[in-house]
Amino acid sequence: MTIETWEKLTSVILSVITSLSFIIAGIWAYRRFIIQQERYPNLNFTADINVIGKQNNEWLVEVLAFVENTGKAQHKIREFWFNLDLIYKMDPLTLSPKWGEQVEFTEFIERSFLPEHIRFFFVDPGTTAKYSYIAKIPDNASFALLHCHFKYSDSRRYGHSAEKTIKLP
- pLDDT tens, the chain, 169 aa long: 788 877 877 887 888 788 878 777 776 666 665 555 556 667 899 999 999 999 999 999 999 999 999 888 888 888 899 999 999 999 999 999 988 999 999 999 999 998 888 888 888 989 999 999 999 999 999 999 999 999 877 776 788 899 999 999 9
pLDDT at position 33 is 59
pLDDT at position 38 is 59
pLDDT at position 6 is 76
pTM reported for the whole predicted model: 0.74
Percent of the chain surpassing pLDDT 90: 53
Tell me the residue type at 138. P
* Nearest CA-CA partner of 105 in 49, 62, 45: 49
Q: Residues 38, 44, 112, 94: is their CA dihedral positive or negative?
A: positive
Q: Which residues of 56-86 are buried (b: 16+ CB within 10 A; e: fewer)?
A: eeebebebbbbbbbebeeebebeebbbbbbb
DSSP designation for 35: I
Contact 65, 82 (CB under 8 A): yes
pLDDT at position 136 is 97
